A and B are shown apart, each in its own frame.
Chain A
Amino acid sequence: MVVIVATVYGFYLNREVTRQFEGRRWTLPAQIYAAPLELYAGLTLPLGDLEHELERLQYRKVDKLDRPGTFRQQGSRVDIALRPARFSDESRGASVLSVSANATGIEALRDSGGKDVPIVRLEPLLIGSIFPTHGEDRIVVTPQDVPPLLPAALKAVEDRNFDSHHGVDPAAIARAIWVNLRAGQIEQGGSTLTQQLVKSYFLDSRQTLGRKLHEAAMALALEAHFTKADLMNAYINEIFLGQDGDRAIHGFGLASRFYFGKPLSELDLSEVALMVAVVRGPSYYDPRRHADRARRRRDLVLKLMAERGVVRPADAEAAARKPLGVTTRGGGTYYPAYLDFVRRTLHRDYRTEDLTREGLKIYTSLEPRAQDQAERALEQELERLDHAKKYPGTKLEGAVVVTSPQSGDVIAIVGSRNVGYDGFNRALDARRPFGSLVKPFIYLTALESGRYNAATIVQDEPVSIKLANGRLWQPENFTRQTYGPVPVVRALAESLNLATVGVGMDIGLPKISATLQRFGLPRAPAEVPSMLLGAIDVTPMEAAQMYNGLADGGFRTPLRAVRSVISEDGKTIRAFPLQVAPLATPENIYQLDRMLEQVMVRGTGRAAHTMLPANLVVAGKSGTSSELRDNWFAGFSGSHLAVVWVGYDNNLPTGFTGSSGALPVWARLMSGLGTTSWNVTMPDSLAETWIDFSTGGLVEAGCAEDAVPIAVPAGTEIPIRAGCRQSGVESIVKRAGEWLRDIMH
C-alpha cells in the first residue's frame, strides 16, 4: 500500500514538475525605453553634458577602457566603450567610439580604427516596464549576461554543495541549525537553491512541516529532470529581490537595474555580494531602507566568498571598504506621467495581458534631458511662487508638456510638481479653462477670412452682448481699461479682451469653433460669446496638440509618445509613423506666428527674455482664466513647443497670471533645452513691413521706438503714420531734423 501511494505521488510530482518547469514562460512585462541620444558631428552637446548623458546610462568613468559600459576623457576627446545595444530597428555589438568635442559641441566621431563615423546612437535608457497590478516585474537574463561571480557567490553563501547534491542537502540543514544556534542569529539557511526555487515557483511561503517535505520532494524531482545549469539560470531569473510599491522585483537582471541602475553584467564584486545579501531577506536587508544591516550582511557574504575560495581575501577586503553603491530611488529615471501616457497609447491596441507577459519592447520619444529640465523648471518656479502665494498650506500644482513640433514627438511630460510620484496626471487629466490661449485661433480665423491682417485697426471698446438667457455679457480687459483703436498685432500681443471679442463676434463663433476643432480640440465648444475669452476646458496635452499646429507651420502632426513596439524576437509589430496633414496655409500661419513673436517682444510674454538666451527668437501666448484660477503659457522656438499650466487642484484663485505664474516655468525650461530660434522663411506672397505698435500706422524700421515688424499679404495698403514715413537714406537725416525741430518747437 505504502509503495503504491509513494509511486503515485512520485508520478504526480514528476508530471507536475516537468509540466510547470518546461511550460513555464516567465511573464515578461513590456520594457519601455527613452529615445536614444544620437551623436553626430555638429551636435550641440558640450563634453560635460556628454559625460552626464553617459553617467545617466551608468557608464563608468575610468582611466583605461576595460569593458563595455566605461569611458575615459583625454583632453577634448572622450573614448566610449559602447555596450551592445538593441534599438527599434537594429542591434549593435560592443565597440569603441572616440568623440572629439569643443566647448559647444561634437566635432567628430571616429571608430576604433580611426575612421570617421557620421552618426552613432547611445543605447536607449530603460525608463520602466508594464507589470501587472501587484505583479512581478523582471528582466530575463541569459547565462552569458550573468557575471560568473554571481553563481559562485550564491553557491558559496546559500548552497555549498549545489553542484553535487540531489536537490536536498541534509548536511547543510544540520550545519545551518548548528551555525545559527551558535551565532544566535540566522547566518545560514539549510534550503538548497533548488528548494528555494521550488518555493518561489510552486508553493506559498507557509512554513509547515508538510510543505517542507513536499518542497523537498519536488526539489528532488526537479533535480532528476534538469541540469544544474538550467536550475541556476532559472533561480537567477526567478528569485524575489525587492518590492517597489505594487511592483515585485524578480530576478537579478531587474534587481541590478533597480538597485544599481545598470546591467547585471557590469556589477563588480561588492555589488554582486550585496545582491546575494539581499536574497536572504529583500525587505529586512533592503539596502535603501536598512543600509547598515545590508552592509553587514554584504560584508558577511564577502567574508564567506573569501573563506570558500571564490575570491582572494584581499579582494574581498577591498570590496568591503566600498560603499553600497545603490542609486537613490526616483532619482531622475522614473517618469510616471510619461509612462502613464505611454500606457494609455498602448491600451488602445493591446490587452493588458499582452503588455505584461509578452516581453514587448516599447520605444518612446522621451528625451531624458528635456524631461529633467521640465521637472526642475516646474519644481523650482512653483517653490518660488508658493512663497509669494495667498494660501499658506495649499500648494500650487502644475503640468508641463514638451514636444518637437515637426515630428510630433512628445519629449517630456510632467503631471505634478511631485515628479517622482504616480498620481493625478494633470498633463492628461486636468481639464481647465483655456483663457487667452484661445486668442491665436480667433485671429487665425480672422486672417483666413481675408478681411484682417496684423495691421488692421480694431476697436478696443466696451462690449455688451445680450445672451440667449436674456442677460448682458460685459467682459473687461485685464487692466479694466479700454484702449480704443489698436492694430491686431497689439490686440493679440497685449491680449486685449475687448478688441478680441469684437473681432470674434465679427468673424462668428461657428467659424472659430471650427478652427479650434481643426487644430485638435476634441470636443465642440459651447458656442457662447465667453468662448472668445477661453471659456473652453482643455487639458495641457490637448493645448499642446493645438499649439503644435501653430509651431509646425500649419500642419497637424499627431502627438506621439510611442514610436514602435518590438516583439520579443525583434520584429516590429506596431509602428507609429510620422504623419502630417495641412491645417492652414503657410501664409496665414506665418502672419500669425510673427504676431506671436511680438507677444514675446512687447506683449505679455516679454518678461521671458530675462531668462532666455539673447537673440533667441520665440513665439507664444499667455493665458489666465477668470479670477486668476488658471495660469497658462504656450510657446515655441524653432525646435521645441512647451505648454505650461499652473493652478490649484481645488481651483482657488492663484493670484498669478499666465505671465507671472506659468511664463517663468516656461522660460526656465526653454532656457535649458539648447533650443534653436523660430526662423521660418517668409512665404513669397507676403511682405514684411513695420508699423507703429500703438496706432498701426506704417513706419520705417527703427523710425519710432514703437515700430514692430509684421508680415502682411504683399500689396496690402496700410495708412502711413504721419511724420514717420520716408524712403531712402535721406530719411534718416530728415527724421533727425524733424526730431530736433519737434524738441525745439
Chain B
Amino acid sequence: MPACAARLALTVLAACCALLAGCQSLREEPPSFPQSGSSTPRPGQPPQPVSPQAGQAGQATPGSPEAAQPPAQPPRPAKQYRLGAASSALVAQAHKQLVGGDFGLAAATIERAMRIEPDNPLLWIELGRVRYTAGDVSQADSMGRKALALATGDPQAQALAWRLRADSLRSLRRNEEAADADRRAEGLSPR
C-alpha cells in the first residue's frame, strides 16, 4: 500500500510538472533537469532493463524475451513528385537557355525554382543534368545523390536520379559504380 500511495503521488507530481513545463514561459530558465520527475527511479517498478554492455548498440541478445525489434514499417504508398506551376515554367525556361548553350543561366534559372521547392528531387535532377551537360560531372553526381536522399518513396524520381548518377560516374570513369547505378535505375523503373 505505501508503494501504491507513493506511485499515485508521483503520478500527480509528474502531471503537475508536465503542466508547469507546458506553461513554462521563455522568460524563465527551463526547470532544472530532470523534468517531469522522469529520471528518478520510480519506487515499485521493476528495475529498468539496462544493457549489460552499456554504450553498445544492439544491447539485448537476439531472441532474448526482453528484447524486440521495432515493428515492421507498413509499406509506404508510392509517392510521385511533380513540379509546381512556377517551377515548371522556370524549368521550361532553363531548357531553352540550355539549348542556347548558356549553362550558367540555365542553372541560375533552376536555382530560382529550387528556392520555391527546395525539397523536390526533380529539380535537383534537372540541376544535375545542367551540370552534367556543362561538364561538371562531379557536381552532377552529388546532385544525383542529393536527389536520391529526397526521393525516398518515389521510384520514378529515384530511377531518374540513379540514371543521372550512372552517367556522371561513367564520365568519372567509375565504371563499376556506374553499372551498379544503372542496375538500380532499371530495377526501380525499367526503361
Could you tell me which A residues sit within 8 Å of B by CB distance?
38, 40-43, 88-89, 118-119, 384, 388, 404-407, 409, 450-453, 456-459, 477-479, 481, 483-486, 490, 494, 496, 502-503, 506, 553-555, 563-564, 572, 575, 577-582, 586, 602, 604, 606-608, 610-611, 638-639, 656-657, 659-660, 663-664, 667, 680-684, 687-689, 693-698, 705-706, 712, 714-723, 725, 727, 742-745
Contact = CB atoms under 8 A, between A and B. Distances in A.
25 contacts: A41-B86, A42-B86, A119-B89, A477-B33, A494-B34, A502-B55, A503-B55, A554-B149, A578-B111, A579-B142, A586-B148, A604-B30, A659-B29, A660-B26, A660-B29, A663-B26, A664-B27, A687-B72, A694-B38, A695-B48, A697-B48, A716-B70, A717-B58, A718-B69, A745-B3
A572 B148 CA distance: 31
A717 B62 contact: yes
B80 interface: no
B85 A38 contact: no
Contacts of B64: 717, 719
B127 interface: yes
Contacts of A580: 139, 142-143, 145-146
Given A572-B104, A695-B48, A742-B7, A688 B149 contact: no
Given A602-B35, A683-B152, 9 more contacts: A88-B108, A553-B150, A564-B108, A580-B139, A582-B146, A694-B38, A716-B58, A719-B59, A722-B46
Contact of A407 (B33, B70, B115): B115
A586 B150 CA distance: 9
B33 A38 contact: no
B6 to A, nearest CB: 12
A705 B36 contact: yes
B67 A719 contact: yes
Interface string B138-173: 010011011011101100000000000000000000
Given A580-B139, A664-B26, A687-B70, A721 B49 contact: yes
Given A586-B149, A694-B39, A457 B59 contact: yes
A743 B24 CA distance: 29
B26 A608 contact: yes
A689 to B, nearest CB: 3
Contacts of A384: 27
Contact of A404 (B29, B59, B115): B115
Interface string B34-69: 111011000001101111001111111010101111
B8 interface: yes
A604 B26 CA distance: 11
B86 A119 contact: yes
Give the 5 A-B CB pairs with smallest separation, nearest first.
A689-B70, A40-B86, A406-B118, A118-B89, A719-B49
B157 to A, nearest CB: 11
Contacts of A602: 35
Interface string B111-139: 11011101100000001000000000001
B175 interface: no
A660 B30 CA distance: 7
A611 B26 CA distance: 8
Interface residues of B, number: 74
Query: Which of A88, A119, A404 is the most central at the interface, judged by chain B CB atoms within 10 Å of its CB?
Result: A119
Contacts of B68: 698, 717-718, 720, 725
A572 B116 CA distance: 23
B111 A485 contact: no
Interface string B94-112: 0000000000110111011
Contacts of A555: 142, 145-146, 149
Given A606-B24, A706-B36, A38 B48 contact: no
Query: Which of B88, B104, B119 is the most central at the interface, judged by chain A CB atoms within 10 Å of its CB?
Result: B119
B187 interface: no
Nearest to A706: B38
Nearest to A577: B107
A118 B28 CA distance: 47
A456 B55 CA distance: 6
A409 B116 CA distance: 13
Given A40-B86, A607-B24, A693-B38, A453 B104 contact: no
Contacts of A453: 57
B146 to A, nearest CB: 5
A483 B34 contact: yes
A610 B26 contact: yes
B28 A660 contact: yes
A316 B15 CA distance: 73
Nearest to A693: B38
B51 A483 contact: no
A478 B35 CA distance: 14
Contacts of A611: 26
Contacts of A483: 33-34, 39
A92 B68 CA distance: 63
A73 to B, nearest CB: 23
A667 B30 CA distance: 15
Contact of A581 (B7, B28, B112, B142): B142
Contacts of A38: 86, 112, 115-116
A124 to B, nearest CB: 13
A531 B20 CA distance: 35
Contacts of A407: 111, 114-115, 118
B89 to A, nearest CB: 4
Given A42-B84, A577-B104, A688 B70 contact: yes
Contacts of B84: 40, 42
Contacts of A40: 84-86, 116
Contacts of A484: 39
B67 to A, nearest CB: 4
Contact of B70 (A477, A577, A638, A718): A718
Query: Which of A43, A682, A717 is the most central at the interface, judged by chain B CB atoms within 10 Å of its CB?
Result: A717
A698 B70 CA distance: 8
A415 B127 CA distance: 33
A453 B116 CA distance: 34
B50 to A, nearest CB: 5
B25 A610 contact: yes
A213 B36 CA distance: 88
A485 B67 CA distance: 17
B21 interface: yes
B71 interface: yes
Contact of B57 (A485, A639, A684, A716): A716
Given A485-B50, A611-B26, A638-B119, A89 B105 contact: yes
Contacts of A723: 45-46
A602 B33 CA distance: 11
B71 A478 contact: no
B90 interface: yes
Contacts of A667: 26
B36 A715 contact: no
Contacts of A604: 30
Nearest to A742: B7
A743 B8 contact: yes
Contacts of B105: 89, 572
A434 B24 CA distance: 26
A303 to B, nearest CB: 51
